[in-house]
Each structure stands twice: as structure tokens, then as C-alpha cells.
Chain A
Amino acid sequence: MIRLALEGLLTRKLRTALTALAIVLGVAMISGTYVLTDSIDSAFDQIFTDIREGSSVVVSGRSAFDLSEGSGVTEPTLDEPLLDEVRGLPGVAEAEGGVDNDSTSLIGDDGKAIVYGGAPNLGFSIAKGDSPFNPLRLVEGSWPGPEEVVIDSGVADKEDFAIGDEIGVQVEGPVERLRISGIVEFGSDLSIGGATLAGFDLPTAQRLFDKEGRLDEIAVAAAPGVSDEQLLTEIRAILPPSAQALSGQAQAREDAAETNEFISFLRGFLLAFAGIALFVGAFVIANSLSITIAQRTREFATLRTLGASRRQVLRSIVVEALVVGAVASVLGLFLGLALATGLFELFEAVGFTLPNTGLTFETRTAVVALLVGILVTLLASLRPALRATRVPPIAAVREGATLPPGRLARFRGIGAPLTAIAGFAALLYGLFGSGLGTTQILVWMGLGALLIFLGVALFSSRLIRPLVGLLGWPSTRLGGAAGLLARDNARRNPERTASTAAALMIGLALVTLVATLAAGIVDSFKGAVNDLWKGSATDYALTAQNNFSPIPIEAADEVAATPGVTAVMNVRTGEVRAFGNVIFATAVNPPAQDMIIVDWKEGSQQVFADLGRDGALVDDGYADDHRLSIGSPVELTFPSGETRAFRVEGIFDPPTGGSPFGRVTISQEAWDEEVERPRNLYSFVDIEGGESEQSRATLERALADFPNAKVSTRDEFIDNQISGLSSILNILYVLLALSILVSLFGIVNTLVLTVFERTREIGMLRAIGMTRRQVRRMIRHESVITSLIGAAIGIVLGLVLGALLIARVDFIDFSFPTAQVVVFAFAAILVGVLAAIFPARRAARLNPLEALHYE
């Protein structure tokens, strides 16, 4: 029986291959994800290990709480004299102090900052080239002396810089031009993604980073015979409370912590899409198997008359599925390697360059990919396999015997809506249930979506007749007799059309969901900005080039000092701790009074000007959470460890699109007293003459030395803020396109099987005068109608899911993504047309003589 199953597969090569494709793609996505994230992981590991290689112990400033990268505040620094104290310890062979800054812009000859795909721009001091603490290797030239810089070979090659050239460097203050003394690379030959490197001698670095007399770190090498633990104990004994010491390895792990978090997020994120593709693939497989098994009814019946038991029939189909699953999974595994390379390029294309030291292939990747691929295939084959066992032997001799309905078929009428309802219940619980953690929310939502899709897919066979009537109408108008026949064919086997369309439905539902959320966010955000600026004096906004990074305050100060500028409102940002939680806080200066108009629950615009050194304002949500009213005390702890008491002076109701401030806002004056090197999230500018080419030129001139800062009008500001969203959207669309591709293969598969099944019919049509072109048109229209059904159900479902999600999120209002929905409908038509190409050609090639041949 098993040999029979295998030989059967070989004789049905094309069908087997098409079925397998559905799994290949999903498995490729899994293995691709693992290979990609493992590769990034090992690249970063190597970077972080390299950096700490020569250090037995690293001393650094201790923040009062963990800070996230790029939040606007940084770890406190160390006093430089601490270095001499450390050097004086008996266990220390060598110690060096260093400073660093991860937004050290190198300026190209065009006056613009050199940035590769959002990667960091690292700046650091190099005390001595030959120091054991220096992970860099000099490719050319010499280590930096005073007022000199070394840059990485990537920038030197790409931007055409050579030794002796001057290059612009901008960190805290305006651009300075420094001589390039050398070109460096990491010691071990690894790519650092799109990151740029700029190394200086210590005094130059301290000046540029605004850290004169300060150190970020002290790297220590142990004297011979002194263990890292002994050294740690020695050093810890002399450290002030604002400093900490870790072994080199522990420091490397801590350096890597944030990156690792990012990588596991990325892994989970991509695996979710692999899961979606596999889920869609499962539909395709179940559907293809159902059709093939229906076509083989007589074969199974014959086997039964020859004495095969039900169990043997079941086993032969399961073995078949197992083989297909295994072969597809192995193919997918290797395709994943190619996909990982493709994903590296995809991320690069959307402006997100990742470090790459070559592909890493771990055993776990193979195990998971194969297991999941085979299991999904097996699960998908169960229902059709069980149906095959119900073929009675008598079907062998009966003309036109059809597959008996499965045992569960009679529960379908009630089961399908119940499944969908259970799905919605799970989704709603995930969204609105109280006291759920993020993971629980995601699990409930995922489960809910899964059940909804299953339920709707099962139920949709009942919608096929009316939907075909509606969506097939254009075909009957445009396609003539071929269109009419296509419409009739599409509703001939509603169950088959439904499950073929269901695969596409899932992809389109998710794409529509994304589009709905995006449209909601964009419209709400626009509304929010317009509300805040309505009646305000603001003419321009000042942000970082990338629109979201906090920028050094000197840029805004430069603008404020420019003649013609009436007022500059700054919003400082960073993390603080309040009520036991780390939150984003902001600080404003008095001009906010006229430049940002908020809706006050308690207080008025005047509060902005009257915050003083101990006033705070909060949004009403935060006030509710912590039962705050005017006069309530709020204690904020800053990264330095200082705690300062504030009093609530105002409570405002943020616009739906999001608050312009953090949870707690204090005055700029108080902020600058507590935070080293404060940063602005954005600034608003009021200038004489308002928005005009002239005033813009004035501002741009003022910012000439701050290439990282950008002036934008209200409209540009909105567009810029939203542009970040569109990169994310593009990534989501590309990832979801994978599952749409799987469903496209599903349609191809169904059509090929259908054409095979209707060989005699198509032959007859050819005999009585249907041209090849008409045959192709007939198949194409059937394909398009099927796709449109998937699109119609998917888009409606996506809108419903999107609306539910938006109902949960306070800062988004629902808005209908009209343009996207139109695009998706056309995309569905395109999917239908593409899917039909191959089957239609096969159908058109059929010989009319086939109609006359018996069987």
C-alpha cells in the first residue's frame, strides 16, 4: 500500500509539486527567519565581545534605572580623577578612560550627515592605538592626535575620503572640520551594518561630546596573577555610588542586552508571518488533497474491493502527505537560506541595514522547520484522508460515484458559525479583558483570529452562490459565453471555491487590517497635530533628519538667537522614574503657551509659562491612573539618581492622535538642572513673516552647522512623522505578500485539478466551436471570480478586525482606507489573472478529441 502511495505521487508529479509549494514557502520563511536572526545575533555578539576583549573589568556610570537607547537621556558619567584612583590599585595592570556618543554625525561633502539605513553613528575616544582595550585595527594612516579623527573604511570607501582630507563632525555643538588621520576597521573582519565610526583622542572626544573632565567608562586590565573577581572586589571598594564595575564579559552581555531584545522581537515578528503563511498553506494543502481524493474515488473503491481496509486507505494517504510534507520542508529549509539573504536586502532597501558576518545555520533551524512543515502537512491531510476512508467498495463499479460527505459534515452548518463566534469571543477577550499581560493579549488575539478565519472559511461555502452571482457579473458582461461559463463553473462546487478563496481571504484580511490601522493612525495623527497648532503661533517645526531622534539642544538655541525668530518652544525628552515605573517625561519652556494649544481639563495655557522649578502637568489618563489633581505631589527620579518633588499644575486631555508630551511634563529649567546633555524631541518656531521662502531660508542658514536638524512646515512635519509609518507598512505588506503568494499557488492548484477533472467537458467545448482564446478566458474569469470572493470576504473581515482593534486603542479613530481597499481589490484581480495563466494554457492545449474518448 505504501509503495502504491509513493508511485501515485510520482504519476501525479505536477499536482504533488503544486501542493508542496504551499508548504515550501511557509517553511522557507521559518528557516529564513532563524538564519537571519541567528546571523544578526552572531554578528552583534562578535562586535560586543570584540569591544570588551582586552578588558578584565569595566567601570561605568550607574543609571538609577535601565535606560533605553535613544530615549533622550544617557547614563551618568564618571569624574575623570576616578581613573587615577583605579590606576593606583595594586591589582590593576593598566586602565584607560573613554567617552562615547552614538550620534556622532560625519558630514559628507554635500553638507549632509552620512547615515546608512538608520544604523547608529558611533563616536568614541581612542586613548592609545596599541592599547589592549582598543578593538580597532588601523587600515591606513595613524591613530588620531589632537583635533584629528579616524573613520571606518566603509565611510572612507563609499564617500571617497582619504587620509589628510578634512571631514565635518557634529556631535553636541555645531559642525567642526577635522583632519582624517587614519582609517580603521574592527580587529576581526566583520561588517558593522550601516554603522559609521569616528574615533578621536580623549581630550578632543570629551570636548566634542560635551564631557570635559568626565568619563563614560574606565576599562581595566588585571595585573598578572590577579583574577577578574579579585580585581572587581578591589575596584568596587573605591567606587562612588553613581558608578558600577562589571567583568568584561558581563559588560559585553549588558552591552548586548538591548540588541538581543531587538533580535528576539524581530524573530518573533517574522515567525508570526511564517505562521500565517503556513496557516494559509494548510488551507491550500487540505483543499488540493480534497480535490485529488475526490477525483480518485474510484481508485480507493477499487482498492477496497481488492481487500484493502479503511485503515490501509488512510495510511496510504497519510504516507503520501508525509512524503510531500517532508520533501517540501527540506526544500523550504534550503530556500530559507536564500530568503535570509533576500531579507537582509529587503531590510536594507527600506532603510534598515543590519550587520552581517555571513549566514549562520543552526541545528535548531533545521529541526523546527522540518517538524513544523511535516506536522502542518499531516494535520491538513487528516480531514481529506478520513473522507477517503468512507468511500464504499461499491463506488468502484458505479458510474459517476462521488465522495461521501465526511462524518462531521452535518455539523458544519452549525459548527462554522460557532467557530467564528468563538474566535470573536477570544479576540474580544484578548482586546478588552482586564489584567492581561502583553503576551496573553497577543495569544488571545492570535487564537481568536485563527478561529475566525477557520469559521469564516468553513461558513463561506454558503456565501459562494450569492457572491458568485454578484462578483461574477462583470465576467458575464465582459467575457461573453466564456464569462458566463466561468461564473457557472465558479459556483458549481461551492465548497471547493470557498476553500480556494479562503486562502486568499486570510492574506487580504490581514493586509486590510494593517491598512485600516494605518489609515486610522495617519488620520488621527493629522487631526492631533492640526488641533495642537490651531490658533497657535507656530510656523515651523525643528526635528532630527530622521524625524524621531532627540537632537542636541544647541541647534534650537542657534535658531532662537537668529534675528527675526520671535519664539522657540522646545520639548525636551527622556526617561524618568515616577510612581515606581520608568516613563517618558518631557519638559517645555514658556513659549509653549502660545505655540501648542491643548485641551485643558484643569488649568490653562498659562500653566506652560508658570511651571517654574517644581510645577508639572500630566495627561488625564495618567491623572486617573494615579489619582492626581491640581496640587498633587509627583516625585521624579532622574537617571543620575536624583529625586525631585513636583506639584501638578495642570491636567490636559490629549487629542486622539496622541499626546505631544510624555506622561509627565515639567519646565525646561528644572529638566536642565537634573539631566546631563539634555535633548530636544522637537522644537516649534515662530518667525516674523510666518511660512515663507524667505523665513525658511533664514532658518536653514541658522542650522547650516547642524546637518542633523531639519526645518519643516506644518504639512511637512505631519508627512515626515507619518513617513516612518510607511516604511513599517511596506515591511508588513511585503511579509504578508508571502501568504498571498501561497494562496495564489492554491488557486493555480485548484484550477489545474479542475481543468484535469473537466478534460472531457473542455474537449466538447472545443469540438463545438470554442476557440483556445475562449477557453483561456473561461479559466481566467473563473480564477478572477474566485480571487474576488476571497478579496470581498477578506476585506470585510479585515475592516471588522481593524475596527475592533481601533476600538481598543485610545489614540486612534477609525477611518476607512478607501484607496487601499481599491488597490487590494485590483491586486486580487491580478492574483486571479496570474494564477490562471498556467492552468488556462493547459486547458487551451487540450485536444478536442479528448471529448470523444471514453474515460
Chain B
Amino acid sequence: MEADNATVVVAREVTRRYGEGETAVDALRGVSVEVPRGKLTAVMGPSGSGKSTLMHILAGLDKPTSGSVAIAGKEITTLSDSDLTKLRREHIGFVFQFFNLLPMLDAGENITLPLSIAGEKPDPGYYDQLVAAVGLGDRLSHRPAELSGGQQQRVAIARALVSRPDVVFADEPTGNLDSHTGHEILELLRHSVEQLGQTIVMVTHEARAAAIADRVLYLADGLIVRELAGATQHEINEAMEEIAQA
């Protein structure tokens, strides 16, 4: 596939159908998208629009019914489960709405978990930089239960970045946080794009969150219906309302 270095994820004509026959639901009805390297792309849309499905497919967690997806130049829709797992391990990071930290590991161990699973050691320089970036220097030996929600999400973001993936997928990363903490997390995501050169795809339904994105994609009924670049929170809200009325 035509994968230049400036595009990390390329999806072509992706459809996803759940179920069969009369009860079948088309979650995606032909979506093509390119995720540029070093940018933060937000995916928005009302619930049921297919935005979560799109993210799952782009991240190799779900398979499309038709169409193709390539990550870092590699077609992933035909990969076996173990190859996909390896691909996720090497090229993809995740940030979840509910943090999903392991309660019995301390913050530091949670951060390096993807490396331990891959049987690798963290690069000390990068690790320290990362820990400093997420602002957890004094909390590394705490267990998740001893951390606030915001701190837990910082650990989760560090975990997503620790293997220096080609792309990080964030699923409603502020959905479970109060607005102040949510704001800090958004700043951290923005910071990791600008300072660490990361590529992030963020699914959200909050205009405030989407406002930090370089580009916003709107999904409705399984199709991309609009795209904005460098939009403000206000513009994003307007676009949302227009789509809802359409």
C-alpha cells in the first residue's frame, strides 16, 4: 500500500457489519481515513455513529467486514491473532476510559508492563523523560488504589507511550474524570504530540477534548460526514449541532 512516512494509519473503504440477515447492523459503511504522523486526530460523533468501532478496527482489535487497514505500512486485516498481538505490542499504545491499571502492580510496574510482556527493558533515558513528562516522579512506587483518577490516567498514558508506538489510541480518555483533571490529561496528550512527537487518535464526544486535536473527523451513521482542521471548541460544537440536525 502507498504508505509514506508521513501517514501512520491508512484505512480504505472499511465496512463493519454486526449480525446477519434482517437484524444485521452496519456500524461502518465505507470509511476511508489516513492518520498523519505526529498529529492528534480526534474522532467525534453521537453514540451509535460507529466511532468506537472505527477505532477498534484501526487498532487491530476488531476486523472489518470489508476494506483494508494498514499500520506503519503493514496490512493488518489479514494478520493472524499472534501477529496482530505482536503488531499491537510494537506499534500501538492504548489509553482507556477506565484506566485499566493492574491493581497489584505499582505505578512504575504498570508503566513498563508492555515492555515486560515483550520481554524488553525500558530505555532509561526515555523512561525518565516520560515519567517527568507525565509528572509522576514521586508516585512511582504507589499502587493504583493509592492514586487519584487523574494520576491513574497519567500512569495509563505513560504505559501507552513507553514502547514508543507509532500510534496511540485513546478511547474517551477524559470520560471518567472531572473537568479540571480532564483538562490536565488533555494537556498531557497534547504535550506528548508536540514534545515527544507522538501520533494520537482520540475518540471522544466532548468538544473540549476535540479542541486540542489537529484534525477532527465527524462520524454519523457509519460514515465520515465532516472533517475540520485546527478548529476551536466553538467551531466544533457548531459542527456537531449541524450534523445532529442533518
Query: In chain A between 472 and 504, which residues have their CB closer than 8 angstroms to a CB of chain B?
Result: 480-482, 484-485, 488-489, 491-492
**Contact bitstring A750-770, B, C-beta under 8 A = 1, else 0:** 000000000011001111111
CB pair A848 B89 closer than 8 Å? no
* Set of chain B residues within 8 Å of A766, measured between Cβ atoms: 85
CB pair A852 B116 closer than 8 Å? no
CB pair A767 B88 closer than 8 Å? yes
Pick out which of these stretches binds chain A: B2-10, B92-100, B237-245: B92-100
Which residue of the partner chain, among A485, A769, A772, contacts B88 with CB atoms under 8 Å?
Answer: A769
Which residue of the partner chain, among A488, A770, A773, A851, contacts B105 with CB atoms under 8 Å?
Answer: A488
CB pair A769 B86 closer than 8 Å? yes
Considering the complex, give the chain A residue whose CB is closest to the CB of B116: A481
CB pair A774 B52 closer than 8 Å? no
Which residue of the partner chain, among B86, B96, B117, contacts A852 with CB atoms under 8 Å?
Answer: B96
CB pair A480 B56 closer than 8 Å? no
Name 14 interchain pairs, CB-CB below 8 A, sorted by A: A480-B119, A484-B116, A488-B102, A491-B104, A492-B104, A764-B96, A764-B100, A767-B88, A767-B94, A768-B88, A768-B93, A769-B88, A769-B163, A849-B61
Task: Check B114 for interface membership: any CB of A closer than 8 A.
Answer: yes
Query: In chain A between 825 and 855, which residues have their CB closer than 8 angstroms to a CB of chain B?
Result: 847-849, 851-852, 854
Which residue of the partner chain, among A481, A771, A851, contacts B113 with CB atoms under 8 Å?
Answer: A481
How many angstroms between the C-alpha atoms of A194 and B188 in the bound complex? 83
**Contact bitstring B179-202, A, C-beta under 8 A = 1, else 0:** 000000000000000000000000
Size of interface on B: residues with Cβ below 8 Å to A: 32
Within the complex, what minimum Cβ distance (angstroms) separates A485 from chain B?
Answer: 7
* Set of chain B residues within 8 Å of A771, measured between Cβ atoms: 82, 85-86
* Set of chain A residues within 8 Å of B97, measured between Cβ atoms: 852, 854
* Set of chain A residues within 8 Å of B48, measured between Cβ atoms: none
Which residue of the partner chain, among A484, A769, A773, A848, contacts B118 with CB atoms under 8 Å?
Answer: A769
* Set of chain B residues within 8 Å of A773, measured between Cβ atoms: 82
How many angstroms between the C-alpha atoms of A768 and B52 in the bound complex? 17
Given contacts A492-B104, A851-B100, A852-B52, contact A768 B62 (CB under 8 A): no
Given contacts A760-B98, A851-B96, contact A489 B104 (CB under 8 A): yes
Residue from B61, B82, B117, B160 with most neighbouring chain A CB atoms (10 Å): B117
CB pair B102 A761 closer than 8 Å? yes
Considering the complex, give the chain A residue whose CB is closest to the CB of B113: A768
Task: Check B166 for interface membership: any CB of A closer than 8 A.
Answer: no
Within the complex, what minimum Cβ distance (angstroms) separates A650 from chain B?
Answer: 71
CB pair A760 B85 closer than 8 Å? no
Considering the complex, give the chain A residue whose CB is closest to the CB of B120: A481
Considering the complex, give the chain A residue whose CB is closest to the CB of B91: A769
Within the complex, what minimum Cβ distance (angstroms) separates A775 from chain B?
Answer: 10
* Set of chain B residues within 8 Å of A764, measured between Cβ atoms: 94, 96, 100
How many angstroms between the C-alpha atoms of A774 and B86 in the bound complex? 12
Which residue of the partner chain, among B81, B89, B105, contacts A768 with CB atoms under 8 Å?
Answer: B89
CB pair A770 B85 closer than 8 Å? yes
How many angstroms between the C-alpha atoms of A764 and B103 in the bound complex? 13
* Set of chain A residues within 8 Å of B102, measured between Cβ atoms: 485, 488, 761
Within the complex, what minimum Cβ distance (angstroms) separates B228 from chain A?
Answer: 25
How many angstroms between the C-alpha atoms of A413 and B112 in the bound complex? 37
CB pair B61 A774 closer than 8 Å? no
Considering the complex, give the chain B residue whose CB is closest to the CB of A852: B171
**Contact bitstring A698-741, B, C-beta under 8 A = 1, else 0:** 00000000000000000000000000000000000000000000
Considering the complex, give the chain A residue whose CB is closest to the CB of B89: A769
Task: Check B154 for interface membership: any CB of A closer than 8 A.
Answer: no
* Set of chain B residues within 8 Å of A481, measured between Cβ atoms: 113, 116-117, 119
Main secondary structure of the interface of A (DSSP, over half): helix
Considering the complex, give the chain B residue whose CB is closest to the CB of A492: B104
CB pair B104 A852 closer than 8 Å? no
Within the complex, what minimum Cβ distance (angstroms) separates B93 from chain A?
Answer: 8
Which residue of the partner chain, among B61, B119, B163, contacts A767 with CB atoms under 8 Å?
Answer: B61
Query: In chain B between 41 and 96, which residues have their CB closer than 8 angstroms to a CB of chain A?
Result: 52, 56, 59, 61-62, 81-82, 85-86, 88-90, 93-94, 96
CB pair B114 A852 closer than 8 Å? no
Considering the complex, give the chain B residue whose CB is closest to the CB of A761: B102
Query: In chain B between 109 and 163, which residues have their CB closer than 8 angstroms to a CB of chain A?
Result: 113-114, 116-119, 159-160, 163
Within the complex, what minimum Cβ distance (angstroms) separates B243 from chain A?
Answer: 24
Within the complex, what minimum Cβ distance (angstroms) separates B106 from chain A?
Answer: 10
* Set of chain B residues within 8 Å of A480, measured between Cβ atoms: 116, 119
CB pair A772 B116 closer than 8 Å? no
Within the complex, what minimum Cβ distance (angstroms) separates A111 from chain B?
Answer: 65
Size of interface on A: residues with Cβ below 8 Å to B: 28
Considering the complex, give the chain A residue whose CB is closest to the CB of B203: A852
Within the complex, what minimum Cβ distance (angstroms) separates A817 from chain B?
Answer: 37
CB pair A768 B61 closer than 8 Å? no
Within the complex, what minimum Cβ distance (angstroms) separates B118 from chain A?
Answer: 6
How many angstroms between the C-alpha atoms of A852 and B100 in the bound complex? 9
* Set of chain B residues within 8 Å of A760, measured between Cβ atoms: 98, 100
Within the complex, what minimum Cβ distance (angstroms) separates A837 from chain B?
Answer: 19
CB pair B61 A848 closer than 8 Å? yes
Which residue of the partner chain, among A488, A774, A848, A854, contacts B117 with CB atoms under 8 Å?
Answer: A774
How many angstroms between the C-alpha atoms of A126 and B20 in the bound complex? 83
How many angstroms between the C-alpha atoms of A458 and B171 in the bound complex? 43
Considering the complex, give the chain B residue whose CB is closest to the CB of A770: B117
Considering the complex, give the chain B residue whose CB is closest to the CB of A765: B117
* Set of chain B residues within 8 Å of A488, measured between Cβ atoms: 102, 104-105
* Set of chain A residues within 8 Å of B105, measured between Cβ atoms: 488
Considering the complex, give the chain B residue whose CB is closest to the CB of A764: B100
Residue from A480, A481, A488, A773 with most neighbouring chain B CB atoms (10 Å): A481
Q: A767-B94, A772-B85, A851-B96 are in contact. List 6 more A-B contacts (CB 8 A).
A: A481-B113, A492-B104, A773-B82, A774-B117, A851-B100, A852-B96
Within the complex, what minimum Cβ distance (angstroms) separates B128 from chain A?
Answer: 21
Query: In chain A between 449 and 483, which residues have their CB closer than 8 angstroms to a CB of chain B?
Result: 480-482
Considering the complex, give the chain B residue whose CB is closest to the CB of A773: B82
CB pair B116 A768 closer than 8 Å? no
* Set of chain A residues within 8 Å of B82, measured between Cβ atoms: 771-773
Within the complex, what minimum Cβ distance (angstroms) separates B148 from chain A?
Answer: 14
How many angstroms between the C-alpha atoms of A767 and B114 in the bound complex? 10
Which residue of the partner chain, among A485, A491, A768, A847, contacts B114 with CB atoms under 8 Å?
Answer: A768
* Set of chain B residues within 8 Å of A767, measured between Cβ atoms: 59, 61, 88, 94
* Set of chain A residues within 8 Å of B81, measured between Cβ atoms: 772
Within the complex, what minimum Cβ distance (angstroms) separates B87 from chain A?
Answer: 9
* Set of chain A residues within 8 Å of B117, measured between Cβ atoms: 481-482, 765, 768-770, 774
Within the complex, what minimum Cβ distance (angstroms) separates A490 from chain B?
Answer: 10
Within the complex, what minimum Cβ distance (angstroms) separates B216 from chain A?
Answer: 21
* Set of chain B residues within 8 Å of A485, measured between Cβ atoms: 102
Given contacts A764-B96, A854-B98, contact A769 B104 (CB under 8 A): no
Query: In chain B between 204 and 235, which residues have their CB closer than 8 angstroms to a CB of chain A?
Result: none
CB pair B62 A849 closer than 8 Å? yes
How many angstroms between the C-alpha atoms of A480 and B117 in the bound complex? 8
Considering the complex, give the chain A residue whose CB is closest to the CB of B118: A769
Report, nearest first, the 8 A-B pairs whose CB atoms are least far apart.
Answer: A769-B89, A481-B116, A764-B100, A488-B104, A481-B117, A771-B85, A768-B114, A770-B117
* Set of chain A residues within 8 Å of B61, measured between Cβ atoms: 767, 847-849, 852
Considering the complex, give the chain B residue whose CB is closest to the CB of A778: B117
Within the complex, what minimum Cβ distance (angstroms) separates A481 from chain B?
Answer: 4
Considering the complex, give the chain A residue whose CB is closest to the CB of B112: A481
Considering the complex, give the chain B residue whose CB is closest to the CB of A849: B61
Query: In chain A between 520 and 566, which residues have their CB closer than 8 angstroms to a CB of chain B?
Result: none
Within the complex, what minimum Cβ distance (angstroms) separates B242 from chain A?
Answer: 29
* Set of chain A residues within 8 Å of B56, measured between Cβ atoms: 849, 852
Considering the complex, give the chain B residue whose CB is closest to the CB of A491: B104
How many angstroms between the C-alpha atoms of A349 and B12 in the bound complex? 68
Considering the complex, give the chain B residue whose CB is closest to the CB of A851: B100
How many angstroms between the C-alpha atoms of A152 and B209 in the bound complex? 94
* Set of chain A residues within 8 Å of B52, measured between Cβ atoms: 852
Within the complex, what minimum Cβ distance (angstroms) separates B43 from chain A?
Answer: 14
Considering the complex, give the chain A residue whose CB is closest to the CB of B53: A849
Query: In chain A between 340 and 367, which residues have their CB closer than 8 angstroms to a CB of chain B?
Result: none
How many angstroms between the C-alpha atoms of A849 and B119 in the bound complex? 23
